[in-house]
A and B are shown apart, each in its own frame.
Chain A
Amino acid sequence: MMIETQPLEPLDRAALPARVAALAKEGWRLVQICCSCRDAYEVTYSFDREGRFLNLRIGFSKEDPALPSITESYFGAFAYENEMQDLFGLRLDGLKLNFHGNFYRLAKKNPFLDPPAAGSPGASPAASPSAPSAEGAPRAAPDPRPT
C-alpha cells in the first residue's frame, strides 16, 4: 500500500502571496486549491516538484471571507479561485481573471457554504446584481464576461 508523504504547512493569510511567489520561483507546479468550510474556512494549496508534494493551509473566520489571490504568481489559479468565489462565497483580492460569481451557472448562490456566512456574497441574494430571482426559477442570464 502506497501512502504518499504529504507535508502540511500552516500559513497566515497575509504571508500567502510571498510564500507562493517563492515556490513559483523554485519551480513548483500548482496542483490544486481546495476550500472547505465548517465552523471556519480552511483553504489548502497543493504544489508538486518532481513528485514531491507540499501543502500550504490557511484557516480564517467565516466573518471575514477574503483571501489574497495568487494569480500574480500562478495565473492558472484563476479557475480555482473563481470556483471558491462561486461555491463558498469567498472574496479573492487581486484576482486577475475575475468572473464575479458567474464562473458557474448555479441555481443557488454559494451552495457549498451552508449556512451562508454573515457578510459573504452568498448571505443575501439581493447583494449581487446577478443573483437568482428565486431558487429553481428562471433567471436573467448574467453577463459572464470577466474583468
Chain B
Amino acid sequence: MSRRTIIPFGPQHPVLPEPIHLDLVMEDEKVVEAIPSIGFIHRGLEKMAEKKDFQEMAYIAERICGICSFIHSMGYCQAIEAVLRLEIPRRAEFLRVIWGEMSRIHSHLLWLGLTADAFGFESLFMHTWRLREKLLDLIEETSGGRVIFGVCKVGGVRRDVDAEALDRLLAALADLEADCREIAAVFARDASVQRRLSGIGVLPKEEALRLGAVGPTLRGSGVPSDSRRLGYAAYDALDWAPVTEEAGDCRARCLVRMREIAQSFDLIRQAVAKIPEGPVSAKVVGAPRGEYFARLEQPRGEVVYYVKGNGTKHLERFRVRTPTFANLPPLLKILQGCELPDVPIIVLTIDPCISCAER
C-alpha cells in the first residue's frame, strides 16, 4: 500500500466562491477519502424566526442565499400559507412560477460560467455571464430587484406584472433563448469540455438515492425526481417532465442543467400564456398554528421548509434543509477514487452553495 498523505482543500480555493474545507486523504495522486468541514459562516437564521414576526421572516428567508433568493422566500411563504390554510390568488401562483423559473435560468447560467472558468475556458465563462446579465435586467424590470427580488410575501406577491411587460419579457426571453442554445452546443459537443467532464465523478443511481442526493446531482444519475411534480404554485397547470441523464458523471450533471435552462424558458412561456387576470395577494388573518413541511425545487435541488406555529406571531420552529446540505454526502462518495486534479471540477458539479447550507 502506498503511503497516505492528507491534502487540505479550501476553505480558500480558486474554484470556491464560498468557504468549505475538505481533508483529502491521498494515496499518490488518488483520493482515498474526503472528510468535509463546514461551519465557517453559520448564521443561525432559523433561530431568528423565534424573534421576528412571521410575515417579516419572508424577507429574511429570501436572504438565506443570493442565487436562489426568490425560491427561498417562496418556500417559506408556501409553508406558512399551508399552516394558515390560506388560499392565494391564482395569478400570484403563476407569477411565482415565472420568477422561480427566471431564478433557475440565472442560477444555472451562473454555474455554467463558473464551471467554464474552472476548466480554463475563459471565453465561454464570459459569454455565459454576459447572457446571465441580460436575464438579471429582465428580473429587475419585472420585480424591481436583481439579486433580492423582494416580491414574495405571505398571501401572494407584492407587485403585479401587466400584459405589456409580460409581452416584452417573452420577446426578450426569445432572444436570450437563442443565445443560450449557442452555448448549450459548446457545453454538449466541444471536445475539450467533453474530455474534462466525461467519466469523472461518477455517481451511480443506487448510490445517489441511498446517500440522499437531490436536484441535478440526482437527475444526472438517471432518477426523475423533481419536487415541482408535487404541483405546487401553478406547476400543476403546466406541461413538463423532469430532465434526466443516465451517465451520472460530471458531464451528465452539466447537461441536466443545460437542458433545464431550455425547459425553464418553455415553462415561462406556458405560464405567461395561461396566467389568469385577478388580484395578486390575499389578506392574511390570524397567526400560524400547526406545522407543515413545504418541499420545492430550487436550481440546486429539493429544498424543505418546516414551520411550526403556536398561534402567536413568532414561530416556534423554523427549519430549512437546503439542497447543498443534502448533496454533501454524495460529494464525499464521488470524490473517492478520483485524481487530485479532478477534485475542483467534481466539487463544482454539485453546485455547492455554502451560504444556503450555513443558513
Contacts and interface: CB of A to CB of B under 8 A. Distances in A.
A69 to B, nearest CB: 14
Contact of A105 (B40, B225, B304, B326): B40
A140 to B, nearest CB: 16
B10 interface: no
Contacts of A44: 306
Given A4-B230, A79-B329, A106 B42 contact: yes
A140 B255 CA distance: 44
Contacts of A38: 316
Interface stretch (B119-127, B142-150, B269-277, B317-325): B317-325
A115 interface: no
Contact of A76 (B35, B46, B212, B317): B212
A46 B42 CA distance: 23
A6 to B, nearest CB: 6
Given A38-B316, A104-B39, A145-B35, A79 B325 contact: yes
Given A3-B82, A75-B329, A79-B328, A104 B38 contact: yes
B22 to A, nearest CB: 11
Interface of A is mostly: loop
A141 to B, nearest CB: 11
A125 B115 CA distance: 43
A147 B191 CA distance: 42
A101 B40 CA distance: 14
Given A30-B212, A34-B306, A38-B316, A76 B39 contact: no
B236 A2 contact: yes
Contact of A111 (B44, B232, B233): B44
B230 A51 contact: yes
Interface string B300-311: 001010101000
Interface residues of A, number: 39
Contacts, number: 98
A36 interface: yes
Contact of A78 (B44, B82, B329): B329
Interface residues of B, number: 45
A86 B44 CA distance: 12
B283 interface: no
Choose among A2, A3, A77, A146 the residue with the greatest number of B CB atoms under 10 Å from its CB. Answer: A2
B106 interface: no
Contacts of A60: none
Contacts of B304: 31-32, 46
B49 to A, nearest CB: 11
Contacts of A146: 35
A2 B93 CA distance: 11
B47 interface: yes
A111 B47 contact: yes
Contacts of B38: 103-104
> Shortest 3 CB-CB distances between A and B: which pairs?
A104-B39, A76-B329, A32-B321
Interface of B: 21, 23, 35, 37-40, 42, 44, 46-47, 81-82, 85-88, 209-212, 225, 229-233, 236, 292-293, 295, 302, 304, 306, 308, 316-317, 319, 321, 325-326, 328-330, 358
Interface of A: 1-4, 6, 24, 27, 29-32, 34, 36, 38, 44, 46, 48, 51, 53, 55, 74-79, 86, 97, 99, 102-106, 111-112, 144-146
Given A32-B304, A53-B295, A76-B330, 4 more contacts: A1-B88, A38-B316, A53-B293, A76-B211
